[in-house]
Amino acid sequence: MTGPGIETIDYAFVRLAFDGALAVVTLNDPDRLNAMGDEMAESLAAALAEIVKPRRRCRAVLLTGEGRAFCAGYNLMVSRKALAAGQSTIRPLGGAETLYHPMLRRLHALPIPLIAGVNGLAIGIGLGLVMAADHVVMADEAWMQTPFARLASAPDSGLSWLLPRAIGVPRAKRMLMRAERIDAATALAWGLAAESVPAAALPDRARTVAREFADGATLALGEIKALVADGLRQDLHSSFEAEARAVARTARTKDNLAAVRVFASKEQPVFTGE
């Protein structure tokens, strides 16, 4: 990505570009369909740490893949080579607790909107990345899959928790226990994607949506993210209390005041994320 005012940082297999208040993160190993290895996971964690630095003033993140895939899951070639060399065991997900799951926790904890532009297949941890997003734009040729059962493996990336809550237990079991491939139309019908567009239109549409979020009331959107996430783990009365505290916080923001000033008029508020 190039252009006036755009700053790009290249990590190992990840490209980060800052375009004003929008950060664009691109998984960048197209020859291996952006399969996730240790270096990519470390790079993604580093990019997320850069995005949340106050001086960056980021208000939304777009996550997508380079080439014809979004992310082909965990790169099993290292484990396959180790077994071929005579090793009797393999390291689970390259160390889920020490690298991959901490990276995913950081992704879920982003205080600003995360938009996924799913340009191609999203498998395993690739689907885990998608499930962290607040809005998913999916190419009509793309598809999703959890291949764990075919690999004789338990699921990872939080998918055993995320999928039942997103699509219900029966559908989650179809994906997890039968490794069913879910096309874009099904993903849209089940709510795994918010939009499906022709593949050629995916980059522009995903960026347009991400820009809309970046121009939004960032602090309020962050409160909404937190309330929805916490609400899945607490009772209704606790949610009432959490909402009251969040409303009090947003009432002190410049964006809230700007919106109230033009309420019931044809004028649109201009949000600054403050």
pLDDT in tens, 69-127: 999 999 876 554 544 555 555 555 456 777 899 999 999 999 999 999 999 999 999 99
pLDDT at 183 over 90: yes
Residue 14 near residue 47 (C-beta atoms within 8 A) = yes
Whether residue 163 sits in one domain with residue 34: yes
pLDDT at 36 over 70: yes
The confidence score (pLDDT) of residue 81 equals: 52
Whether residue 165 sits in one domain with residue 82: yes
The confidence score (pLDDT) of residue 83 equals: 44
**Side-chain-side CA neighbours of residue 155 (13 Å):** 24
Task: Tell me the residue type at 145.
Answer: Q
Q: Please state which of the ranges 5-9, 45-49, 129-133, 213-217 shows the lowest mean pLDDT.
A: 5-9
Judge whether 267 lies within some domain: no
CATH number of the domain to which 183 belongs: 3.90.226.10
Judge whether 270 lies within some domain: no
Whether residue 254 sits in one domain with residue 156: no
Q: How far apart are CA 257 and CA 236, in angstroms?
A: 28
* Strands of the chain, DSSP E: 6-11, 14-19, 22-27, 60-65, 69-71, 114-118, 121-123, 135-139, 143-145, 182-183, 195-197
**Degrees to nearest 5, angle at CA 146 with 103 and 150:** 120
Q: How far apart are CA 153 and CA 93, in angstroms?
A: 10
Tell me the mean pLDDT in the region 21-25.
98
Residues with Cβ within 8 Å of 38's Cβ and at least 6 positions away in sequence, in order, are 94, 95, 99
Between residues 205 and 262, the one the model is more confident about: 205
Residue 223: name the closest of 238, 196, 245 by CA: 245
- Percent of the chain exceeding pLDDT 70 equals 91
Whether residue 12 sits in one domain with residue 121: yes
pLDDT in tens, 118-152: 999 999 999 999 999 999 999 999 999 999 999 88
The token pair at 210 is 């991400």
Whether residue 148 sits in one domain with residue 252: no
Whether residue 201 sits in one domain with residue 167: yes
Eight-class DSSP state of 120: S
Eight-class DSSP state of 228: H
Whether residue 246 sits in one domain with residue 204: no
Domain count, the chain: 2
Whether residue 73 sits in one domain with residue 44: yes
Whether residue 85 sits in one domain with residue 28: yes
Whether residue 196 sits in one domain with residue 234: no
Q: How far apart are CA 116 and CA 94, in angstroms?
A: 24
Query: Which domain range does residue 230 map to?
Result: 218-261
Sheet with 14-19: list strands edge to edge. Answer: 6-11, 14-19, 22-27, 60-65, 114-118, 135-139, 195-197
Tell me the mean pLDDT in the region 234-251.
94
Whether residue 145 sits in one domain with residue 222: no
Judge whether 266 lies within some domain: no
pLDDT at 208 over 70: yes
Judge whether 1 lies within some domain: no
